[in-house]
Each structure stands twice: as structure tokens, then as C-alpha cells.
Amino acid sequence: METITSILNNLGIGEQQALMLALLLPFFPLLLILNRRIRERGKPVLRSIPGYDALGEYVGQATESGRSLHVSMGTGGIGTAVTVESLAGLTILEHIAAQAAASGLKPIVTVSDPSLLPVAQDVLRNAYAAYGRLGEYDPTCVRFISSDKVAYAAGVTDILDHGEVAGNIMVGNFSDEFLLMSEVGARREIGQVAGTTVPQILPFVYASVDHSLIGEEIFAAGAYMLKRTSHIASLATQDWLRTAVIIAIVVGILATSLS
């Protein structure tokens, strides 16, 4: 035990980090096992999440009506404390970009962090290239509004208020500015899907949009939208580990009570 502690200290790994590492160790072999099983037996049927079901509907409505679709990546960015939420937004953008490239729809994508601008543009470009329509790709579809949250919200509300928008998708990190944007979408009767992991904003999400992605549901986009085996295996692995943690907690409580 002392040897392990010494090695961890030499690597600069503290007690809390070591605990996190220990909790993650079972994740990887289980992920590999489930990934292989899914490849051999086929993809399982996932429970329906209305927010993801609505995304395809909004793309179809925008295409049929000749209007656009607004996608907000939130106020986070790459390399920040909320990188994971921004990556979840990019995953959803990847699905929407593929649908847009296939149907000729040109979405309006807004970002508040400069680090997301080239990444979002690349996602759109790859989608158009995959469908052999690279000539139709327009980099100006992705717009950097402002790093200031209130200014970003003002820019988005202007797009929703004056643009021909059939749907409003907002997934990522948000704070109080979220309500400014969703209120305009609701007033204009624009179909809205939104998701975030920020606890203080979740009530606003649930109350002001048509379909909400609550908390960790935004991280399931790869499994639900892109249907990738690795994403589905990751989702199944998380469910198994969550079950194991719940059982461990219950057993611990019972053991403490009985002793």
C-alpha cells in the first residue's frame, strides 16, 4: 500500500484523484466487453427521449417551409471547465448538419466562445462533404456573436425575432441569459429543444421550451442521434456502473444500520 501511495505521489496524483481513477478502472474493460457484444448481437432498442425525437421533426419542418434552424452551442467553449457540455452540443450539431446537408437546409449556428467557431464550421463542412455537396457549404452559417453572455443572448434573440427560423435548438452550458433566448422563441411560437447540466437553469429549460434534455441526457446524443456502437456501449456501461454504485450504497447503509 505504501508503494502504491509513493508512486501516486511521485506522479502528482492526490487522494481525490486516485479515488476517481479507482472508480474509472472498471469502466474500460466493461466498455470493451459491451462494445463487442453490441457489434455481435446488434444494437439494443433505446428508450424514447422526446427531445431527440423532436430534432428530426424540426429539421423536416424547416426544410418543408423553406425556413432555417437555429442551433445555439451555449456560452461555453473548448478547453474550459464546461468543455464536456460544449462537446455534447457539437455532437447534436453533427446530427443536424448531416440532416441539413442531405436536405439542402442551411442552419444558423451561434457560438459565444471563439474556440467553438472553427470546430462548428468543420462539423458543417464535413457533413456537406460527406453528401457530395461541398460547394453548398457556407462557413458564415456559423456565427460568433460575443463572449459576453448578455450580448450573446441579445444576438440570438435578434435572430429568433427577425429571422425566418422554424426551430430553435440550444444545448450546452447556459446561465441566466438562457431565459432571454427561450422566452423569445416561445413568444414567436418557434419549436424549441434545449438541454443543459446546470442545476439552476434546468427549471427554466423545463418551463420555457417544448422539449427538454435534462442533465446527463445531453451526453446521450451520440447514441441516440448518431447511432454509433461505441456511444451505445458507453451508455450501457454507465447504466451498469450506476446500478453497481446504487447497490453498493444500499449495502453500505444496511451494513451500517445492522452494526
Side chain identity at residue 37, one-letter code: R
- Predicted local distance difference test score (pLDDT) of residue 96: 92
Q: What are phi and psi of 46, to 5 degrees?
A: -90, 145
How far does Cα 212 stand from its chain's mean position?
12
Which residue in 90, 51, 13 sits closest to 217, CA to CA? 51
Cα distance from N-terminal residue to C-terminal residue, the chain: 27
Give residue 237's pLDDT: 82
pLDDT at 4: 53
Domains of the chain from N-terminus onward: 50-226 (3.40.50)
What is the predicted pLDDT for the residue at 16?
Answer: 66
Mean pLDDT of successive 10-residue stretches along the chain, which has 259 residues: 56 64 74 81 81 87 88 91 91 92 90 95 94 91 94 95 89 92 92 93 91 89 82 82 86 85
Distance CA 81, CA 65 (A): 39
Cβ 210 vs Cβ 54: under 8 Å: yes
pLDDT at 243: 86
Instruction: Tell me the C-alpha distance between 198 and 218, whole Å.
Output: 12
What local confidence, expressed as pLDDT, does residue 126 receive? 95
pLDDT at 11: 57
* Per-residue confidence (pLDDT) for residue 123, from 0 to 100: 95
